[in-house]
Structures are given as structure tokens and as C-alpha cells.
Amino acid sequence: MSDAKAATVASRAGDPEISPGLVAEHGLSEDEYERVLGILGRPPTFTELGVFSAMWSEHCGYKNSKRLLMLLPTEAPWVIQGPGENAGVIDIGDGLALAFKIESHNHPSAVEPYEGAATGVGGILRDIFTMGARPVAVLDSLRFGDLDSPRVRYLFSGAVRGIGDYGNCVGIPNIGGEVFFDRAYEGNPLVNAMCLGVMKTDEIIRGEASGVGNTLMAVGARTGRDGIHGATFASEELSEDSDEASRPRVQVGDPFTEKLLLEASLELIRSGHIVGIQDMGAAGLTSSASEMAGRSGSGVEIDVARVPVRETGMTPYEILLSESQERMLVVARKGEEEEVRRILEKWELEAESIGRVTDDGRFRVLEDGVVVADIPALPLTEGCPTYEREGVEDPAVIELRERDLSRVLGKEGDLSEVFMTLLASPNLASKAWIYEQYDTTVRTNTVQRPGGDAGVIRFRDTERGVAATTDCNGRYCFLDPREGAKAAVAEAARNLVCVGAVPTAVTNNLNFGSPLKPAIYFQMREAVQGMAEACSFFETPVTGGNVSLYNETGGRPVYPTPVIGMVGVLEDVSRAIGHGFRSEGDSIILLGETREEIGGSEFLYRTEGVVAGRPPRVDLVAERQLQRAVLALIRDRLLHSAHDCSEGGLVFALAESAVGGGGSDGPEPWGLEVEVNAPFSPVALFFGESQGRVVVSCDPDRAGEVLALAAEHNVPGTRIGTVGPHRGTFSVSAPLGFIRVQSSEIARRYREALPALMEADQP
Amino acid sequence: MKVAVITFPGSNCDYDCYKALQLLPEFEPHFVWHREVALGPVDAVFLPGGFAHGDYLRAGAIARFSPIMDAVLEFGRSGGIVVGICNGFQVLCESGLLPGALLRNESLRFRSHEVHVRVETVRTPFTSAYEKGRILRIPIAHGEGNYFANAETLAELEGEDRIVFRYVTPSGELGPGSNPNGSRHNIAGIVNAQRNVLGMMPHPERSVEPLLGSTDGRGIFESLAGHLGGIPA
Amino acid sequence: MTRFHLEIRVKPRPGLLDPEGKAVHHALQSLDFSGVAEVRVGKVIDIEIDATDRSEALERVREMCRKLLANPVTEDFDVRVADQIVYTGDAA
Amino acid sequence: MTRFHLEIRVKPRPGLLDPEGKAVHHALQSLDFSGVAEVRVGKVIDIEIDATDRSEALERVREMCRKLLANPVTEDFDVRVADQIVYTGDAA
Ligand SMILES: Nc1ncnc2c1ncn2[C@@H]1O[C@H](COP(=O)(O)OP(=O)(O)O)[C@@H](O)[C@H]1O
Ligand SMILES: [Mg+2]
């Protein structure tokens, strides 16, 4: 079809007239609409307007984030695929490649937590296996309001069930994640899911529609009216009546079909009958088809009348923008469509030829042969205007950060009571209520299950393994976005080294409020710069990620939450260690320096109800030295356990190592006798969240070696105590204060806190 | 000896079973797709865990009608060794090869963690390598593992020594906290009257390597190897 | 050929414990709904089927229940056209 | 106080994907049950409740549906006493 003819596209009977109002409803500004006119050389049809609206939404077009994302380091010798594809891919040795990515489903989860979270997992799995990798693990990073609200409990339990039911059914083990509860997330929870997949380095395939004449095939589930304009929806603030407004948008997941799609896709990719494959995710057929065309520089032509549908009377607009789940767009080699169909039939899936690859660089859509959209592909996929917004820090935040907290540091003497109250905080208590709803051992590769610092997966027929973690403390980021983002990267890396893995690469999920607000854009810019600095420093390039903006309700934004998903490699996975103490009499050693820091801590939130002060400072140089020391210690098999100090501070690191496991299958808790010396407040000493610290335990005879090796790395190390007997006393003392509690009592509180909160409305 | 591992659409522990079997030199495992109608010459059949046909309607309800199931029933009824793990157990109950049914967990929640089960009988081809009363630490991962059968059936199972595994506390009691899903009589696994068909909810194939935390499940595979080794092919 | 819309209700057999019903009952109480004496949760399956006449449609659907839709060990079912009960029985 | 037996039917909202219905439909076909045009799977909840009169019982149960028993985003429900439909509506 010639471009001359393409210049005119008759408007389709029954489609609404294009009006300024309609354009505005589609979230396009006047300038953006001008740009559309420029690209087309004529007014768009209704269908074309929908296409532009979706492709130029925040979700697909990264309007307000692209310029910031360019600051992130993306390169390293081991990076095979950086940002821009369905997922990043790195070389992990032994001819293996790891594909991994994190994705958010915040808005859908706020409306329908079960389906929203479930389909979030479905989407990230597809991003991984469309790279040619077999998913081997998932993690989930969650943020919710305080659990005293029934609505929050409903959202939280629904999301956890959704994540579990989906991943369990597909058969991908969950190896970790995080959850954080704070008022700031009350109306707008965050549900981010991360997936890791493995392939041989030469099995990678990309989302490209190449080879003129090749056939585009729609594969998997049929197309319904689900989630139409989900992409735009994900880019709007949740209105009070979102439930109502977004009803027809709810996407229902079918993990069973996903499992078939997973097996079929991998078989297809290995078969060589296809040249490209992509998930029909956000903006469905529109984005998959146009992006595949854009990437390869060719064009595509599809006829929506050939797309298998679930509902009658669907318009081109609806078919193009539907976000029905468990669908793929596949580019089959010309003449090999039958082989493709045969493979899908074996997996009881449908495949329809819906179009072909062209050489005219256009994204052309027909309905029964009649052109309904005809757009140059590159301007559509790459031409989305990007903005640099004004960013100014909110003075109120400055005031909070500078607040004087010396008063709260005054508490002295017996702090056992405080400790017991904090143990009941869902942010500090065991997360087993969550991860015991997730299959963590299917595929029989899980070396470290959720509950420790990072999950670990082994690779059969090699000695290798990979560790993964997600981290971010939204309070730190709220009080100081730059330091907070650095802290997130540092903690992620620290979690990895604690199991013996070398931090290797990063995926990230930027969860923020509206970028149109200077205070929010400031947070975004600062956080991204902090992340960039830390990632460059640790040599952990960012290979991909996701941006979720407009996370606000009633104008109230969530905390800036740049979630870091980090992966690390273990050359000898048999050396991996956990965070739980291993035997009575072992020496307990604290590596790293404790400062008098209490700002942004869980202690402040629970005891004073405030989020204020300077968040713990990150000293990147000290962090790196600490991490190298811990890696060396684990490599030399000197340690029995290692656990990083994070929320709750030193005492919680000790408590978690003593309890060993948060679950129904947790071991007997250990007692301990610890004495810490620092010339300042016991509150800061016990509950302060200074970064760059790791609690390790080792055979008493090796303590000297451990301290020496630490010193070699210029890491301050102190032997602070000894592991006591099973069910013994947990005793931590400092010059000005002490904690003395039965370890069995700690284990009980730690394990029962979250179930108690959740089962308020359960039998 | 040849072991068929049946793969249903939605099975996701088939590969795990296959790998666990391979750890013993006696076994030559191979996959059999559910659409096959014949088993061929095999010494044992494994129905693996997972979500066959998505577990829609009831776990195992649709899978039991897969074409291969006629051959499996035939094989089991004529004394052939059949092992159903988790979803496989559910399929065996739905198909009638084992009595009873597996209802939703009492908590209504999927439960995934290690449990302790007590070996209640060693008079089976699956447990002869254990000593009676041995306590095993093995993971469960299921939403519908709540074993139910009517009073007569339960009495039969008890009377005929057909309860193979029972959920217990770490110290081996049946007391509170021992039962993860509400199963009658704490039942975690049973055999049929001829004792050649085993169904169990816990995942022994996940407990066969030290690196993965426990080897308590090995005994089942070793017992089987011993038993089949004793049978002249 | 006529198209019949049949509704099947599959319910846990009386006397047999029904974890879901129990949970719902408890949840209702914690929401202060008083006076609830019992709750049972089952499945309702709507089937649209083409058949020459009503009794053929019914017979086919009853067969589906016995074979697949209800578990004879734990469930009872009934089938009706529109809203009038046409057949009751347990799956045994 | 009278005791009323109410039956609630909660069904996936039309147009929303119903994976369970889809799977059951597929299974029926492979069992050679011909002529099945559509299958949708929902829940049936039987509630026994004490109330002064029927309209109070109904009102309470409708409230339960809105609050707990039906998902306002994905499901519709109806409530009836015995077998006669008394109220229809979606969970809004
Ligand atoms: N949503 C979740 N899903 C799976 N595992 C989780 C989740 N939340 C927390 N966990 C696990 O619980 C443990 C404690 O979480 P967290 O306190 O965030 O650890 P850390 O502070 O070391 O990152 C970790 O092992 C984590 O993987
Ligand atoms: Mg953390």
C-alpha cells in the first residue's frame, strides 16, 4: 500500500468525531496533538487517536522520566542486553545468561488487589520468557497503609493471594521480596513484581518484527474488552471513585494459560520458526506491534478482523487497545506458520495470522481490508515528547529533616519493653505470613528461601548460583531522596553479599507521585541521581526497570519509592550461608560502624509516630570495603551466618539471627549474650538504622581470623558476644541501657505479629 | 527400571520428579504427555505435582479424564507401582484409584513450608527403607491438601495399615500445630488396598539433595528402587 | 435445536465440614452481622446448551454433573432450567 | 424472630474473563459433551438467618453481599428466599 494512499484514512462509521474534548480525554496536551498532526499530515482517526494516546502515555512513552533515566549507568562487560528490550540480560558465566526485570501493577492492585497483583506477576513472567529465558524465580516488593484499616487488610491479603495463586500455578518459586507498611501508602499501595529467567547465552531472542513478508501471529488467549486504556489509566492519579470509573478495565488473569504459553513460547523460540516474540502487555496489540516494527526499522500491517476475540462487536479501537492477559505477538518466518500453529496446538493454544512485516516503516491497521490506522512506526514509538519538569524541594520536608530528635535519644535503662513493642510492628516482624502462601521450592533449585537477606537459586549441572533481593526504604527517600536511593542500592548489595553473592546488576521500579508537582519531580531527580551514583560506584549497571507515576490519592502522594531489584552471582553456590545462628558458643561479630542515627527509623514511627530527621548516611567507600570483606569471609568458609542491619537496627539483626526463621517451620531460637560499647544513646545503638553494618557469627576459634581479614579490608570489626543455648536468654547490654528477654518469647512475638494483625477478620 | 513421569498441561513438578529419580542409578525416567493413550513398558508411574488443567473446578477433576489416565488406572489396578505427589495425589483420588478427596486447606490459604511427617508403616514398596516411626522433614506446597474420607473409609485405612504418612509436630506428636491443612486423622499420605498405589501431599522430590536443605525424601525413592529391583523384569 | 440455559448448583454435602462457609460465617460475625445461624458455600455453574428438547438438555447436564462437575464423595448437586427445580439428586 | 433460608448467587460480571468457566467448557468438549455454547462458574452461598421479617432478612443479606460476599469490581450477585427471586442487582 503506497504512502500517498496512506495519507488519507477515512473515518470509520460509528466512531466519534475528533474534538478537543476527546483529545483531552485521551490525555494528550495541545502540543502533543499538534505533534500528532505533524506526524500524520492530517487529523487522526478515532482509532489512531487511541493508539497515540496509549503509546504516548506515561506508561509506554516515559514522557516525564526518560530524561532522568538517561542518567543511569547501563553498561558493563557482562551486560548482554541493556534497557529497551522486554528485559535486561547479563552473562553469568558457564555459558549462561540471566534475564531479569521488575514491573509495577500499582493502580490495578488498588482497584482489584487479587487480579491486579496476579496479572502483575503474569506480565513480568512474559517479559522474561519472551527473551527466550525460562523463569526460575520471582520476588515481590509491596507497600501498603497501616494494617489497622480493614480496607488496607483487604488490599494486602488480596494482593498476596493474587501473587501466590499466579506464581504457584505457573510453578515459579518466590525467593524473596519486601513489604513495608506506612500511612503514606494507604490509598495507593505499591505492588512491584520481579522475575529472573535463565537461558544459554546464544538462546536470546528479541522483540523485533524483521524480515519483510514474515507473518504476525496472535498467540494465546482471546482478546476481550479487558483493561482498555490500562496504559493511560496507569498514568493517572487514582480518583476517589476509581473503583467505579475503572470497572471495565479490570483484567482477569489465567495462570494456567500462562503456563501453557510459557512452555509453548520457549518451544517456539528454540524451534527457529519465529524471528521475534513480544508480550501484548500495556497498550496490548498496539504497543507490541508498533514497538516490534520500530525496533527493526521495518513496518507492520495487521487486520484486526483476524484477531481472535472473546466478545462480539469489538471495534478496531478496542481490539488494538485491549489488555487481555496471556497473549503474545509472534513473528513467524514466512511459510512456517503451520509449524508454529502445530507447536501451539500441542499446548492447546490458539494462533492466528493477523498480519505481516512490511518494508514501509508504517504501523498500518486494517479492518476487513479497510485501513483504519496508518502511522509511521518510529515517530509513534520513539516520538513521544519528553519533558524536563521543574523540581523544587518541599519546605515542609526540609523542616522534618532538620527536626531535633535529641529528646527521643534520651531513653535509657531497661529497653526490653520498647523492644517487645517494636517486635509487634509488621515492618519488623516475620514476613512468613506472606511467603508461606508462595511456593518457594518448586523447580528444586532454591538454596535460600525467603526469610533471609536474599534468595538464592542454583543452576543444575554447574556450581553456580544467583542471588536476588529487592530493597527500598520509602521513609529515607521521603526525607532525603538522594541518600534514600543510595541507601536502597547499598542495602540491596549488602543483602546479596550476606549470602555470598557478588552484586552484578540492577533493575529498578520508580514509584512516585505526580511529576507535574515540583516537589515530586525534585524527588524523582534526586532519587535517580542517587541511584546512578551508587550503581556506578558498585559497578552494578541498570539493565532495565519500570516507572510508575501519579501514585496519589486525593492529591496525597506515596513516599518516593525507587525500588531496587538487584541480582548477584555465586561462583560456588555451596558456599552460600544464611542469616540464622548455627551453634551455641559461636562468636558474634559486628562489622561496620554504628553512628548516632535515629532519623527515619521504625523506632521513631512506632514510638513517636513521626517520620523525621536525617535518614542514615551512606558512605559508599565504607560500604564497598564492608561488602568485599564479607565476600572474602564467606569465600574462605569462615562464617556460620551473616545478616545485614536494616530496619530495626542492630538489635533486630541480632534477634533475626537468633530466631533463625520466621515461619511455621522455624528452628528453635538461640539465646545470646551481647555487649556493645559506644559513647552514645542506647536507643541509637540498639534501634538506630546506621547503614553499612553486618552481624556475623563464626566458630570462636576462627574469630581472630575473621577480625584480621576484616581489618585487612579496613573494616571496623568488634567481637560483641556469644551465641547462647536454644531457648536461652537474649541479652544485649550497653553502657547506658540493656535488653533482657527470653529468646522463645522473641520468636513467638516475631512469628505471630503479622498473623495476629491479619487474622483479626479470619477464623 | 523405566519410570514414566506423566506431564499434564499445568504440571510443574514433572521435571523435579524426573531429576529426583535420576539421582538413583536404578531409574530411567521419561516423560509421558497426557494425550498419549499407552504407557509402554514401564515399571512405575509418577503423577507429579502442579496445577493440571489449572486445578479449575476441583484439583485433579479435569486431569483425571486426560487420555493417558485410562492406561494409568489399568496399570495401577493390575498391581503396577503408581505414585501421586501433591496434585498427583489429588488426581488419584478424583480418578478413584485412591479413596477420599482433598478439600481446600482449613485456613483457606495456600500453605508452603516444611512439615514433619511420621512414617506410619514400612509395609509398602515406598517406605521399606525407613524405620517405622521415623520423622521426616519435607516441604508441602498446596491449597487443597485437606484429606477427607467418610468414617468407614477412615476406619478401613487405619485398620488395614494403609496410612503411610501422618503430619506431626517436630517432636513427633499429633498435637496442636501438627496439622497444616485440617486433614482427617492428620493424613499426609495413603496407599490403596493392594499397597501398590501411593498418594501423598508433601514433596519428597524436593528433599533429596543436601544443598537444598533436606534429604529425608530419598527413602521413598530408595525403597522403590529396592522393591522394583526385587521384581524380576 | 433450542438453546437452554441451565443452572447447576453444587454444594458441600450436609454434615461435611465446609471450611469456606465457616470462614464466611466468622467474617460476617466480625463485621457485626448478627443472627446468622449457618453459612454454606458451593458453586453455581451456568451452562448454555443446544438440545432438541428440554429433557434432553437436562439429561446431558445431569450426566456432566455425575461425571465431572460434582465430586460424588463430597458434593451434592441440582440442576434447573431458569429458576424452577427440575431435578434433584446427589452425585452418587 | 423467624429463620429465613436465603440463597445468594455470586457470578463473574459479564464480559470479564472467567478462566474456570473456560476450563470447564474445554473439559466438557473433550469429554464429547456436544452442544455446549457457554459455561460460567460462580458461587452459591446458603445463609440461614434470624430476622423479624423477610424484608429485614433480605436487606441484611444484601448488605452482606455489598460488604463482603461479592466483589463489587468483578462480580454481580442476586439474593432469593427459597427459589423465588426477590432482589437483583450488582454489588454497587
Ligand atoms: N512480599 C514478600 N515476598 C516474599 N518474601 C518477602 C516479602 N516481604 C519480605 N520477605 C522476606 O522476608 C525477609 C525479611 O524482609 P526484609 O526485612 O525486607 O529483609 P531485609 O531487611 O534483609 O531486606 C526477607 O527474606 C524477604 O525476602
Ligand atoms: Mg529490606
Which residues are bridge partners to C87 per DSSP? C79
Tens digit of each residue's pLDDT (9 = 90 or more) over A676-712: 998 889 999 999 999 999 999 999 999 999 999 999 9
What's the whole-number average pLDDT of chain A?
94
Chain D residues lying within 8 Å of C41, measured CB to CB = 43-46
- The answer on pLDDT for A591 being more than 50 is yes
Pocket test for ligand 1, best of A166, A431, A644, A646 (most atoms within 8 A of CB): A431
Interface contact B65-D30, CB threshold 8 A: yes
- The answer on pLDDT for C83 being more than 60 is no
Task: State the Cα–Cα distance between residues B165 and B157, nearest whole angstrom.
Answer: 12
Interface contact B57-D27, CB threshold 8 A: yes
Pick the residue with more confidence: A541 or A10? Answer: A541
- CA geometry: angle at A393 spanning A387 and A396, to 5°? 145
The complex's ipTM works out to 0.92
- Band (pLDDT 50/70/90 cuts) for residue D1 is confident
- The answer on pLDDT for A201 being more than 70 is yes
Distances (CA, A) of A48 to A63, A469, B99, B227: 19, 41, 60, 69
Tens digit of each residue's pLDDT (9 = 90 or more) over C21-60: 998 999 999 888 988 999 999 999 999 999 988 899 999 9
Task: State the Cα–Cα distance between residues D13 and D42, nearest whole angstrom.
Answer: 10
Tens digit of each residue's pLDDT (9 = 90 or more) over A180-195: 999 999 999 999 999 9
Chain B residues lying within 8 Å of C44, measured CB to CB = none
Rg (CA), chain B: 16
| Cross-sheet strand order for the sheet of A729-734 | A413-414, A737-742, A729-734, A670-675, A717-726, A587-591, A694-698, A641-644
A488 Cβ inside 6 Å of ligand 1 = no
Which residues are bridge partners to B47 per DSSP? B84
A108 Cβ inside 6 Å of ligand 1 = no
Task: State the Cα–Cα distance between residues B147 and B187, nearest whole angstrom.
Answer: 7
Q: What's the whole-number mean pLDDT along residues B153-181?
A: 96
Q: What is the pTM of this model?
A: 0.94
Chain B residues lying within 8 Å of D31, measured CB to CB = 65
Q: What's the whole-number mean pLDDT along residues A590-595?
A: 97
- The answer on pLDDT for B163 being more than 60 is yes
Interface contact D33-C83, CB threshold 8 A: no
Q: What is the pLDDT of residue C15?
A: 81
Q: Are A452 and A561 in contact, with CB atoms under 8 Å apart?
A: no
Tens digit of each residue's pLDDT (9 = 90 or more) over B28-87: 999 999 999 999 999 999 999 999 999 999 999 999 999 999 999 999 999 999 999 999
Q: Establish if C27 touches chain A: CB-CB under 8 angstroms.
A: yes
Task: State the Cα–Cα distance between residues D86 and D92, nearest whole angstrom.
Answer: 17
Pick the residue with more confidence: A283 or A704? Answer: A704
Q: What is the pLDDT of residue A763?
A: 37
> Is B17 noted as a catalytic residue in this protein?
no
Q: What's the whole-number mean pLDDT along residues A208-215?
A: 89
Task: State the Cα–Cα distance between residues D35 and D23, nearest whole angstrom.
Answer: 16
Identify the weakest region by mean pLDDT among A34-38, A513-517, A757-761. A757-761
Q: Are A196 and A567 in contact, with CB atoms under 8 Å apart?
A: yes
Identify the weakest region by mean pLDDT among A166-170, A227-231, C20-24. A227-231
Chain B residues lying within 8 Å of D19, measured CB to CB = 54, 56
Beta-carbon contacts of B74 under 8 Å, excluding residues fewer than 6 positions away, are none
Q: What is the pLDDT of residue A664?
A: 78
- Band (pLDDT 50/70/90 cuts) for residue A553 is very high
How far is C-alpha B72 from the geometric centre of its chain's CA atoms?
15
Q: What is the pLDDT of residue A296?
A: 84
Helix axes A255-271, A337-346, angle to 10 degrees: 140
- Band (pLDDT 50/70/90 cuts) for residue A245 is very low
Q: Exactly one of B13, B17, B53, B86 is catalytic; which is it?
A: B86
- The answer on pLDDT for C91 being more than 50 is no
- The answer on pLDDT for A514 being more than 50 is yes
Tens digit of each residue's pLDDT (9 = 90 or more) over A39-66: 999 999 999 999 999 999 988 889 999 9
Pick the residue with more confidence: A760 or A281? Answer: A281
CA nearest to B212, candidates B140, B138, B143: B138
Pick the residue with more confidence: A73 or A247? Answer: A73
Altogether, the residues listed in chain A come to a count of 763
Long-range contacts (CB closer than 8 Å, 24 or more residues apart) made by D50-55: D50/C35, D50/C37, D50/D1, D50/D2, D50/D3, D50/D4, D51/C35, D51/D1, D51/D2, D51/D4, D52/D1, D52/D2, D53/D2, D54/D2, D54/D4, D54/D81, D54/D86
Of D33, D47, D84, the CB nearest to C39: D47
A753 φ/ψ angles, rounded to the nearest 5 degrees = -60, -55
Choose the most confident range, by mean pLDDT, from A228-232, B159-163, B226-230.
B159-163
Q: 3-state SS string over A621-656?
A: HHHHHHHHHHHHHHHCCCCCEEEECCCCHHHHHHHH
- The answer on pLDDT for A326 being more than 70 is yes
Cβ atoms < 10 Å from Cβ of A244: 12
A453 Cβ inside 6 Å of ligand 1 = yes
Q: What's the whole-number mean pLDDT along residues A405-426?
A: 95
Percent pLDDT > 70 in chain A is 96
Distance from CA of A261 to the nearest CA of D (A): 15
Q: What ligand 1 atom has the least distance to the C-alpha of A179?
A: 8
Task: State the Cα–Cα distance between residues A362 and A3, nearest whole angstrom.
Answer: 9
Distance from CA of C47 to the nearest CA of D (A): 5
Q: Establish if A225 touches chain D: CB-CB under 8 angstroms.
A: yes
Q: Are B145 and B86 in contact, with CB atoms under 8 Å apart?
A: yes
Q: Are B11 and B210 in contact, with CB atoms under 8 Å apart?
A: no
A442 φ/ψ angles, rounded to the nearest 5 degrees = -60, 150
Cβ atoms < 10 Å from Cβ of D67: 15
Q: What is the pLDDT of residue A691?
A: 97
- Name the closest-CA residue to atom 25, ligand 1: A451
- Band (pLDDT 50/70/90 cuts) for residue D92 is very low
What's the whole-number average pLDDT of chain B?
96
Q: What's the whole-number mean pLDDT along residues A348-370?
A: 95
Q: What's the whole-number mean pLDDT along residues A605-625?
A: 97
Identify the weakest region by mean pLDDT among A482-491, B86-95, D80-89. D80-89
CA A453 to ligand 2 centroid distance, Å: 8
CA nearest to C15, candidates C37, C35, C40: C40
A643 Cβ inside 6 Å of ligand 1 = no
Q: What is the pLDDT of residue A658?
A: 97
Interface contact D23-B54, CB threshold 8 A: yes
Interface contact C27-A760, CB threshold 8 A: no
